[in-house]
Amino acid sequence: MRLPRMARSGSRGDALQRPRNLFRRRIPVAMVGGRAMRYVGRFAAAAGLLVSLWLVMQDDPDTVLNLLRASAVGLVVAALAHVLHMFANARAWQTLMLAPRAPRYLTMLGLLWIRESINGLLPVVRIGGDVVSFRLLVKSGLLSSMAAASLIVDMQLTVISQLLFAAISVGYLFAYVQSATLHIVSHLAWGIVVIAPAFAIFALIQHANPFERLTRVLDRIASGKLAELVGKSASIDETIKRIWRHRAVILRYLLIWQPLQVCGTTLQIWLALYFLGSPVSFLQAFVIDSLVQAVNNAAFFVPAALGVQEGGFLLIGGMLGLEPATCLALAGARRVRDLVIFVPGMLAWQIAESRISGTGRASGTTGPDATTGIASGADADGLER
């Protein structure tokens, strides 16, 4: 995978000061809500970790650990299957970039790796990785409006797809699970019915020019000091509409690329259960994956879905007849994926960011962005083009 090379202007003195607290200074870029949100994220992570430990202790910890130990190599293989999902996701995202100088596929694959790793591990309410990938896309030469629009449409289409897959999975449970668990399935169905309108509004809101409206309000509050940002926001809204007008691109994303992505994540579940000694059909693995993803996304504020993911596997796997110890071991298999795929992705992020700093030191030039530092990246980048 090729990490993008970025060009960044900056004074030599400023560039030399950045590496000191480089990692700490980058985190605010991915945070929404500043310090309060960081505290919420840390509290949610601590609570989720306690819930995870409690769920394991409520069952038989020795059995869970023995399952993980006996199938360790197989679980690594299952974790590596996530790369198939990334291959399809990177191509799907690339198709949304209707620009003459769209980044190459390997660049998109590297950016997606960073994006998923940040969203999967850090307390960034599942959008910090998108903010960082936006910055890196702009630094690689893509127009900021197209970079932002492609990320937003990608999220919108993913939400639509996940709702459809979750509805199909609930339908399967209604048809095949035992009558004793039907009341749980009905609760899941009602949950989807309740959250579907909110997700649908998010997915279809592009017709209301939300970014332009929001920045106009902020511009009034700031006494006209954000006039340039209003123009940029209007450009993002128009680019989003332009992507949606390409019906063939949207349909290929929903009917080809999204199913391929789901096949990749479903294969992880299927392989993990095979190596754990509890094989299921590919359709059952799809049901587990789709509904656990829906549960994780509903609890987006919990870093790494700690506790939530374990509970989701216990609930959905239990309805399909899996033993509690197997469900918890399957949740552990997902954590193996985080270690094998996402932890190296965090390192890739640091390498990509260091290239920004390194290019700035090599150029030795000054510019309007030279004194802002990396921590101001998201706002400054949006005004560069």
Report how far apart, in Å, the C-alpha atoms of 266 and of each of 189, 270, 277, 347 are.
21, 6, 17, 26
3 state SS of 221: helix
Residue 91 lies in a domain: yes
- Mean pLDDT value across the chain: 76
Q: What is the pLDDT of residue 196?
A: 64
Q: What is the band of 38 on the pLDDT scale with cuts at 50, 70, 90?
A: low
Q: What is the pLDDT of residue 107?
A: 92
Residue 3 lies in a domain: no
Report how far apart, in Å, the C-alpha atoms of 42 and of each of 29, 38, 47, 253 are.
17, 6, 9, 35
64, 56 Cβ separation under 8 angstroms: yes
Q: Which of 32-36, 66-70, 141-145, 280-284 has the highest mean pLDDT?
A: 280-284
Residue 121 lies in a domain: yes
71, 110 Cβ separation under 8 angstroms: no
Average pLDDT, integer, range 320-333: 90
Selected residue with higher pLDDT from 50 and 133? 133
Q: What is the pTM of this model?
A: 0.75
Residue 355 lies in a domain: yes
Q: Which of 15-24, 116-125, 279-288, 309-318 has the highest mean pLDDT?
A: 279-288
CA atoms within 13 Å, Cβ hemisphere of 21: 6
Q: What is the pLDDT of residue 282?
A: 96
Q: What is the pLDDT of residues 2-11, one digit of tens each?
A: 565 554 444 4
Report how far apart, in Å, the C-alpha atoms of 275 and of each of 68, 134, 278, 279 are.
9, 38, 8, 8
Residue 1 lies in a domain: no
Selected residue with higher pLDDT from 228 and 248? 248
Altogether, the residues listed in the chain come to a count of 385
pLDDT at 347 over 90: yes
List the single range of 143-157, 264-278, 337-351 with lowest mean pLDDT: 143-157
Instruction: Determine the Cα angle at 163 with ends 325 and 84, to 5°.
Output: 65
Selected residue with higher pLDDT from 86 and 232? 86
Residue 217 lies in a domain: yes
285, 266 Cβ separation under 8 angstroms: yes
Domain range spanning residue 302?
12-382
CA–CA gap between residue 123 and residue 37 (Å, rounded): 8
Q: What is the band of 109 on the pLDDT scale with cuts at 50, 70, 90?
A: very high
- Quick count: other Cβ atoms within 10 Å of Cβ 128? 24
Residue 40 lies in a domain: yes
pLDDT at 125 over 60: yes
Q: What is the band of 83 on the pLDDT scale with cuts at 50, 70, 90?
A: very high
Percent of the chain exceeding pLDDT 90 equals 34
Residue 7 lies in a domain: no
- DSSP character string of 232-290: HHHHHHHHHHHHHH-HHHHHHIIIIIHHHHHHHHHHHHHHHHHHTT----HHHHHHHHH
Average pLDDT, integer, range 47-52: 71
> b or e along 160-193 (b: 16 or more beta carbons within 10 Å of the residue's beta carbon)?
bbbbebbbebbebbeeebeeeeeeebeebbeebe
Report how far apart, in Å, the C-alpha atoms of 59 and of each of 75, 305, 321 are.
21, 20, 16
CA–CA gap between residue 354 and residue 39 (Å, rounded): 27
Number of domains in the chain: 1
